[in-house]
């Protein structure tokens, strides 16, 4: 063991060995992995080892596909057998709702390039797996790239391939302490002290403790998971080919062949947390006693689906723990304030996602950002609110129990809520507000009559007319929406202007003005679609998406310089937006200030009723609008004053569902849909806000290269969709003559213009106005036409009124 390595990876499971392998493969061989016992001693050795490319998050699905393709490569490179059985597999639909869901999901997989899957009938499913009882099956989604691996062999293959590239593996050496110093980390182990530039927490069941060694509280928890392996089944022994895998969501089970028997795994509704503060240090190859009573209902369904199980003995029970995050996705990436401390934790499907996680993290460490947009895995998608133990227990348990439950775009889940609320939450709830959640904060979706319940659906919700009424009220009079769920960062100091000028790609606004501000990475990818405010008193604000608070603060911290202070003021500063043709009249009745003189994108300080507020004239609705920012203590009084003043003007409280409809009518993109860190400014149209003639800024060279080249292959366009009872939501494929030419980034219904709309990333030569296309909406192909941007008020007259 050397005393210094460039990177130390803590944890010898599938994730740690994948990170080690990819670091060495990408040119950093001076790396080592430290394992407290021996490789696989944790969750990896007892995992079922299933692999498949399908995932509800397209970016994660792509990384899963990468993992599958990599497996044969590391087997060959290492010389270690991984016991791969690529049997193919299917996901069953046993209800009409699930069958509709699978048909919709199939089209999403086409969008992201998974071509080796297809829809099959119940009869085909039964023929492919004759041991299955097809009763109740409506159909299935088949995928060629499904199968399983030998888990121990796969971990050793990653480690062996890494060692052949120069990496070091050190077993039976527990990490005792971590100490941060200016040039890296000191890793105190049982066998001595190692210094390194980077440390990676891939500790699996011990991720919580390794995080705490660095003063980090990770939102992770282990939960127990059952599967059983049978004795030899005569029907299986008689087969000429291996059985394909089956996911049976309505039965909460999955199965695969295991030698001449069967493995049946269960995601039970009655979940069981285990050692929430981390596994004991001497734990490794132990299991928990099976708890048949707790899984009885799911077992019965499994035995009904595979009748042969009733006539065979059980050879092995496995009840072992895996580590989960609140949403079930991994926690990957750097931690703000802990320089060169990296997470690769909560990868509950390690053999499925481990290759992609290792690749992305190694790229991040070496090159500064991963090739793929992996925000769905980024540790910065959570903030301090997620460190609460009850929050972690509730959300991880909810995810586990819903592992095979259908999810809907309009569905709101209860775990960990309500945790954080704006001051007017109770008053707004009494007024009928229905709530969603963003970064732990309750945000308004719409206002409904007492007793109304929204039904989860892939199609138009029973709240459709309610949202439409809110849109029309805003267009005709005025709408009031709580905007506490916007992020707000305050930048001050003698170097604030110079720092912002380097950070942002736009020209900074003069005093008393605001501006749309794209922010780029050095590679020219988007890091934000922000709004910058110059309040004229030496104070600047950056505003953006609330759920990116930690993500953006990490970026700001990474680029910090002397002479500036950046504060996240998103908890103490809240507010409301008022938009619509009557918005000015309402505000004029509440202020003596010259608010009528405030130009579009102007900002200033005004007294609104009894509230001293920062006001900006802007709105994403396409109407004349004002964002009014106040302290949390003023939030209730401000809302009441606005509602009283607006009572005679037709003012109505509205939610973000209406705002999302109105922004589509203006072709305004939003983050996580039209704008992501996987896209460039040129692809998304944000390049029109770039100040090409100003001095250096982050990403300038890459943006200039894109500007001077042939142009992006795909660009954003607005589509009018011939929808009937459902609208696009995102990632639906766009076609022309049977050729896939793009995909939907977001969609919905434009209540003001009475049309179904979508924004889509499509091939540039298909983006001309009037181009006829088709798009799949909930699995059904519908006509679509490229239309001019901003189908509502294309001249912008309403905003500028």
What average pLDDT score do residues 93-100 get?
96
The domain containing residue 164 runs over which residues?
A: 4-324
The verdict on residue 445 lying in a domain is no
The whole-chain average pLDDT of the chain stands at 96
Domain at 98, CATH number:
3.30.9.10
The verdict on residue 349 lying in a domain is no
What is residue 181's three-state secondary structure? strand
- The DSSP 8-state label assigned to residue 312 in this structure reads S
- Whole-number pLDDT of residue 235: 96
Helices (H), 504-634: 549-558, 583-588
Last residue of some domain: 290, 324, 358?
324
CA 147/CA 287 separation, integer angstroms: 24
Q: What is the pTM of this model?
A: 0.96
Last residue of some domain: 618, 639, 661?
661
CA 629/CA 636 separation, integer angstroms: 12
Helices (H), 6-142: 14-25, 58-78, 96-111, 122-128
End-to-end CA distance of the chain: 71
pLDDT digits 0-9 by tens, 2-31: 999 999 999 999 999 999 999 999 999 999
What is residue 26's three-state secondary structure? coil
Residue 61 has pLDDT above 90, yes or no: no
Phi-psi region of 416 (alpha: psi -120 to 50; beta: other; left: phi over 0): left
CB 261 within 8 Å of CB 229: yes
- pLDDT confidence tier of residue 654, bands split at 50, 70 and 90: very high
CB 253 within 8 Å of CB 102: no
Phi-psi region of 184 (alpha: psi -120 to 50; beta: other; left: phi over 0): left
Residue 52 has pLDDT above 90, yes or no: no
Q: Which of 657, 225, 545 is nearest to 399 (CA)?
A: 225
β-pair type (433-438, 441-447): antiparallel
The verdict on residue 649 lying in a domain is yes
The verdict on residue 429 lying in a domain is no
Q: Across-strand partners of 196?
A: 5, 185
The domain total for the chain is: 2
The verdict on residue 440 lying in a domain is no
Phi, psi of 230 (to 5 degrees): -90, 170
Q: 657: buried, middle or exposed (CB in 10 Å: 19+, 13-18, 0-12)?
A: buried
Last residue of some domain: 267, 291, 324?
324
**For residue 48, is the peptide bond before it cis, meaning its omega torsion is within 30 degrees of 0?**
no
CB 584 within 8 Å of CB 616: no
The verdict on residue 761 lying in a domain is no
pLDDT digits 0-9 by tens, 749-791: 999 999 999 999 999 999 999 999 999 999 999 999 999 999 9
The verdict on residue 756 lying in a domain is no
Domain at 622, CATH number:
3.30.1360.120
- pLDDT confidence tier of residue 800, bands split at 50, 70 and 90: very high
Indicate the angle between helix axes 58-78 and 151-164, nearest 10 degrees.
70
- Whole-number pLDDT of residue 387: 97
- pLDDT confidence tier of residue 113, bands split at 50, 70 and 90: confident
pLDDT digits 0-9 by tens, 212-268: 999 999 999 999 999 999 999 999 999 999 999 999 999 999 999 999 999 999 999
- Whole-number pLDDT of residue 1: 84
Residue with tokens 């030899």: 232
- pLDDT confidence tier of residue 115, bands split at 50, 70 and 90: confident
pLDDT digits 0-9 by tens, 609-640: 999 999 999 999 999 999 999 999 999 999 99
Residue 59 has pLDDT above 90, yes or no: no
């Amino acid at each position: 063991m050397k005393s210094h390595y460039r990177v130390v990876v803590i944890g010898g499971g599938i994730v740690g060995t994948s990170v080690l392998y990819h670091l060495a493969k990408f040119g950093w061989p001076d790396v080592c992995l430290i394992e407290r016992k021996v490789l696989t001693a944790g969750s990896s050795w007892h995992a079922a080892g299933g692999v498949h490319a399908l995932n509800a998050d397209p970016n994660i699905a792509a990384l899963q596909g990468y993992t599958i393709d990599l497996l044969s490569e590391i087997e060959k490179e290492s010389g270690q057998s991984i016991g791969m059985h690529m049997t193919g597999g299917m996901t069953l639909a046993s209800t009409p709702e699930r069958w509709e869901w699978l048909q919709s999901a199939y089209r999403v997989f086409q969008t992201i390039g998974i071509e080796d899957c297809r829809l099959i009938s119940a009869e085909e499913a039964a023929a492919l797996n004759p041991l299955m009882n097809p009763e109740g099956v409506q159909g299935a989604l088949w995928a060629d790239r499904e199968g399983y691996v030998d888990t121990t062999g796969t971990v050793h293959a990653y480690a062996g391939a890494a060692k052949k590239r120069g990496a070091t593996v050190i077993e039976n050496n527990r990490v005792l302490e971590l100490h941060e110093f200016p040039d890296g980390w000191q890793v105190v182990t049982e066998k001595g002290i190692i210094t390194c530039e980077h440390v990676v927490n891939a500790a699996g069941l011990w991720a919580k403790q390794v995080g705490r060694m660095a003063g980090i509280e990770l939102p992770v928890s282990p939960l127990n998971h059952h599967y059983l392996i049978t004795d030899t089944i005569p029907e299986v022994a008689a087969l000429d080919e291996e059985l394909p895998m089956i996911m049976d969501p309505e039965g909460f089970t999955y199965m695969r062949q295991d030698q001449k028997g069967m493995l049946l795994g269960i995601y039970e509704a009655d979940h069981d947390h285990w050692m929430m503060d981390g596994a004991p240090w001497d734990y490794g190859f132990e299991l928990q006693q099976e708890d048949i009573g707790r899984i009885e209902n799911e077992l019965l369904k499994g035995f009904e689906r595979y009748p042969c199980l009733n006539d065979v003995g059980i050879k092995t029970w496995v009840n072992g723990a895996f580590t989960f995050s609140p949403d079930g996705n991994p926690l990957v990436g750097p931690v703000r304030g802990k320089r060169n401390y990296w997470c690769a934790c909560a990868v509950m499907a390690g053999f499925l996602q481990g290759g992609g996680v290792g690749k992305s993290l190694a790229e991040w460490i070496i090159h500064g950002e991963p090739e793929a947009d992996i925000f769905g895995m980024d540790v910065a998608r959570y903030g301090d609110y997620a460190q609460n133990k009850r929050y972690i227990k509730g959300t991880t348990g909810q995810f586990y129990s819903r592992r095979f439950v259908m999810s809907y775009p309009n569905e709101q889940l209860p775990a960990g809520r309500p945790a954080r609320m704006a001051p007017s939450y109770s008053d707004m709830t009494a007024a009928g507000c229905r709530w969603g959640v963003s970064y732990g904060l309750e945000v308004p979706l719409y206002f409904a009559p007492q007793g109304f319940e929204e039904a989860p659906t892939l199609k138009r919700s029973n709240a459709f007319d309610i949202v439409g009424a809110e849109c029309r009220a805003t267009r005709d009079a005025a709408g009031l929406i709580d905007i506490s769920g916007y992020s707000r960062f305050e930048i001050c100091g003698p170097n604030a202007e110079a720092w912002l000028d380097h950070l942002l790609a736009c020209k900074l606004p003069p005093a008393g003005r605001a501006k749309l501000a794209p922010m780029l990475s050095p590679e020219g990818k988007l890091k934000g679609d922000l709004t910058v405010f110059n309040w004229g008193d030496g104070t600047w604000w950056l505003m953006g998406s609330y759920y990116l608070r930690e993500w953006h603060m990490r970026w700001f911290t990474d680029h910090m310089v002397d002479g500036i202070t950046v504060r996240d003021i998103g908890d103490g500063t809240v507010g409301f937006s008022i938009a619509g043709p009557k918005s000015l009249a309402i505000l004029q009745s509440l202020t003596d200030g010259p608010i009528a003189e405030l130009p579009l994108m102007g900002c200033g300080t005004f007294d609104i009723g009894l509230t001293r507020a920062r006001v900006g004239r802007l709105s994403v609705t396409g109407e004349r609008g004002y964002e009014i920012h106040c302290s949390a203590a003023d939030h209730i009084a401000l809302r009441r004053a606005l509602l009283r003043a607006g009572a005679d003007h037709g003012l109505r409280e509205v939610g973000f569902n209406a705002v999302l409809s109105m922004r589509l009518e203006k072709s305004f993109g939003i983050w996580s849909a039209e704008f992501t860190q996987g896209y460039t400014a040129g692809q998304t149209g944000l390049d029109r806000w770039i100040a090409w003639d100003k001095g250096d800024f982050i990403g300038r060279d890459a943006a200039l290269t894109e500007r001077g080249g042939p142009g992006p292959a795909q660009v954003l366009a607005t589509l009018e969709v011939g929808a009937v009872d459902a609208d696009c939501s995102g990632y639906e494929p766009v076609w022309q003559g049977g050729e896939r030419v793009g995909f939907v980034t977001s969609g919905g219904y434009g209540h003001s213009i009475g049309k179904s709309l979508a924004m889509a990333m499509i091939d540039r030569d298909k983006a001309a106005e009037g181009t006829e296309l088709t798009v799949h909406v909930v699995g059904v192909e519908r006509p679509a036409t490229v239309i001019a941007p901003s189908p509502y008020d294309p001249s912008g007259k309403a905003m500028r009124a």
